[in-house]
């Protein structure tokens, strides 16, 4: 049985039903047109005979001519006068007759009754109907074959992609060849390839995270073990034991920082499942800048703000956006020397809303992937998971994230986040320059 959940089966049923209806309607119209045309010719023929009778009354008396023409001509008297002729058809003993009642002397209620045997014509029409019926069956069969072939052709790209995806796993992922797909399926193929790319990046980052975590935890554990072994070799003074314990505690604190950052990843994955809510991103940025202004002032640094447009409404997970902006600002303040400034700006672009954090720090090596886990830059302390978490949050939001060196002649970096969303109002698109 056909499953109503199958698009192919629904397509087959609808195409077969529509085609069958079209064939039946067209055939019926064709047959009735042929029948009407033939009978109209017969009626005109009888009217022509009636006109000839009116002009040549000898035809009524000539029985042999009537037999030759297959006519039966009588003069009848009606109960009431009728000005127009009347035609009707009847059947008697497997013979069909067409009868014309034609005015002869309407004032005296006399009319011609001309009857013609149209049995042969009726048989011809029956044969035509029979042939039309056979053609309909053949046409319906061809439509059915065409529908099955067409539906199979339409679902073939889906089946091909399904087979390729079924043979993939986290260790073997190949992109679908878009050029081999019909143009209608190419957007779907591009979407699947984009998803495969995100999965590959996720698997890659997870592997790097596990390897990096093991390496980061192995080193402090080795230090703790070595310190304890050296401490136990001989007796030491209480002060030396205290110093060894303090060193161990310091190493444990470093390990706790690593573990806390790894736990943040779990919290971030949970935040991705939070229900999105509509917020004013500009208002959110203002509040976040106010929080960091005091921190910047305590470190003898300046945090500047420039937000355009006045309002930008977006539906997103606030926790993910907060994680990205907070990481940008923390890194900018960390690597910016005292007396320098950090800028938090926003402006509309072709993608949506562009948010940038610009610092006056030491810059970066753009050849390195700073979004990989445990990737560090400069001489500042840190685990190296901040930008990794920011990249994961941006992917979850469907946003773009990037970090580059400044190109305005000032040393420092520009961290960029591009949000795509509906604007609360129509805004002009324009490029902005980094303030010096």
For the stretch 273-301, pLDDT in tens is 567 788 899 999 998 888 888 888 888 88
Residue 128, pLDDT above cutoff 70 = yes
Residue 381 scores a pLDDT above 90: no
* DSSP-derived 3-state class of residue 377: coil
Which of the residue ranges 80-94, 201-215, 322-336, 379-393 has the most confident prediction, judged by mean pLDDT? 322-336
- Residue 394 CB partners (closer than 8 Å, separation 6+): 320, 324, 400, 401, 417
| Pick from 157, 182, 143, 156: nearest CA to 12 | 143
* CATH 3.30.565.10 residue ranges for the chain: 277-419
Phi and psi of 342, rounded to 5°? -125, 140
Is the pLDDT score of 351 beyond 60?
yes
CATH of domain 7-143: 3.30.450
Give the other-Cβ count within 10 Å of 369's Cβ.
Answer: 12
Question: Structure pTM?
Answer: 0.47
**Pairwise CA distance, residues 235 & 231, whole Å:** 8
**Higher-confidence residue: 396 or 37?**
37
CATH code given to domain 277-419: 3.30.565.10
More confident residue, 186 or 307: 307
Burial environment of residue 363 by CB neighbours within 10 A (0 to 12, 13 to 18, 19 or more)? middle
Q: Comparing 11-25, 107-121, 219-233, 328-342, which segment has the lowest mean pLDDT? A: 219-233
Look at residue 243 and give its three-state secondary structure.
helix
* Sheet of 353-358, strands arranged across: 302-307, 341-348, 353-358, 413-419, 400-405
Q: What is the pLDDT of residues 188-247, one digit of tens each?
A: 788 887 777 777 777 776 676 676 667 666 767 777 777 777 777 777 778 877 877 887
Indicate where the chain has its CATH 1.10.287.130 domain(s).
188-272
- pLDDT at 1 exceeding the cut of 60: no
Could you give the residue range(s) of every CATH 3.30.450 domain in the chain? 7-143
The pLDDT score that the predictor gives to residue 362 is 84
Closest by alpha carbon to 194, among 400, 427, 428, 419? 400
> pLDDT at position 269, please?
54
Q: 346 pairs with which residues across the strands?
A: 307, 355
Q: Which of 4-18, 240-254, 358-372, 417-431 is predicted least confidently?
A: 417-431
| Contact criterion met (CB below 8 Å) for 348 and 427 | yes
Percent of the chain past pLDDT 90, that is, above it, reads: 7
Tell me the average pLDDT across 77-102.
82
Residue-averaged pLDDT of the chain? 78
Report the topology of domain 188-272: Helix Hairpins (1.10.287)
Mean pLDDT, range 16-43, rounded to an integer: 87
371-384: average pLDDT: 56
**Contact of 267 with 389, CB cutoff 8 Å:** no
pLDDT-based confidence at residue 417 (cuts at 50, 70, 90): very high
pLDDT at 412 over 80: yes
Q: Would you say 414 and 406 are in contact if contact means Cβ atoms under 8 Å apart?
A: yes
Determine the Cα–Cα distance for residues 167 and 169; give it in Å rounded to an integer. 7
């Amino acid at each position: 049985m056909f499953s109503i959940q199958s698009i192919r089966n629904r397509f087959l049923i609808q195409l077969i039903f529509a085609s069958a209806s079209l064939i039946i309607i067209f055939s019926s119209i064709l047959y009735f047109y042929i029948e009407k045309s033939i009978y109209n010719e017969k009626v005109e023929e009888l009217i022509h005979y009636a006109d000839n009778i009116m002009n040549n009354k000898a035809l009524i008396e000539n029985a042999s001519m009537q037999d030759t023409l297959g006519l039966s001509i009588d003069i009848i008297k009606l109960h009431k006068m009728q000005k127009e002729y009347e035609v009707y058809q009847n059947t008697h003993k497997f013979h069909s007759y067409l009868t014309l009642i034609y005015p002869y002397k309407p004032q005296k209620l006399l009319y011609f009754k001309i009857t013609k045997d149209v049995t042969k014509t009726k048989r011809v029409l029956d044969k035509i109907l029979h042939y039309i019926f056979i053609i309909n069956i053949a046409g319906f069969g061809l439509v059915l074959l065409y529908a099955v072939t067409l539906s199979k052709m339409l679902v073939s790209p889906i089946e091909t992609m399904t087979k390729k995806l079924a043979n993939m796993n986290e260790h073997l992922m190949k992109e679908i060849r878009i050029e081999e797909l019909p143009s209608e399926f190419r957007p779907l193929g591009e979407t699947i390839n984009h998803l495969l790319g995100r999965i590959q990046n996720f698997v890659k980052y997870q592997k790097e995270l596990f390897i990096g975590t093991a390496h980061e935890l192995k080193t402090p554990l080795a230090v703790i073990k070595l310190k304890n072994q050296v401490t136990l070799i001989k007796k030491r003074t209480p002060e030396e034991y205290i110093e060894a314990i303090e060193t161990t505690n310091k190493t444990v604190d470093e390990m706790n920082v690593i573990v806390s950052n790894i736990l943040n990843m779990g919290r971030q994955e949970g935040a991705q499942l939070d229900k999105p809510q509509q917020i004013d991103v500009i208002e959110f940025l203002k509040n976040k800048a106010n929080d960091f202004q005091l921190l910047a002032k305590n470190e003898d640094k300046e945090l500047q703000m420039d937000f355009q447009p006045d309002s930008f409404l977006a539906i997103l997970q606030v926790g993910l956006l907060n994680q990205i902006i907070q990481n940008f600002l923390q890194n900018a303040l960390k690597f910016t020397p005292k007396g320098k400034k950090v800028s938090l700006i926003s402006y509309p672009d072709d993608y949506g809303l562009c948010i940038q954090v610009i610092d006056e720090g030491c810059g970066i090596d753009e050849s390195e992937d700073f979004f990989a886990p445990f990737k560090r830059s400069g001489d500042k302390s840190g685990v190296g998971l901040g930008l990794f978490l920011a990249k994961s949050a941006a992917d979850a939001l469907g946003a773009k994230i990037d970090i580059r060196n400044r190109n305005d002649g000032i040393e420092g970096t520009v961290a960029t986040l591009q949000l795509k969303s509906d604007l609360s109002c129509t805004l002009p698109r324009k490029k902005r320059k980094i303030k010096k």
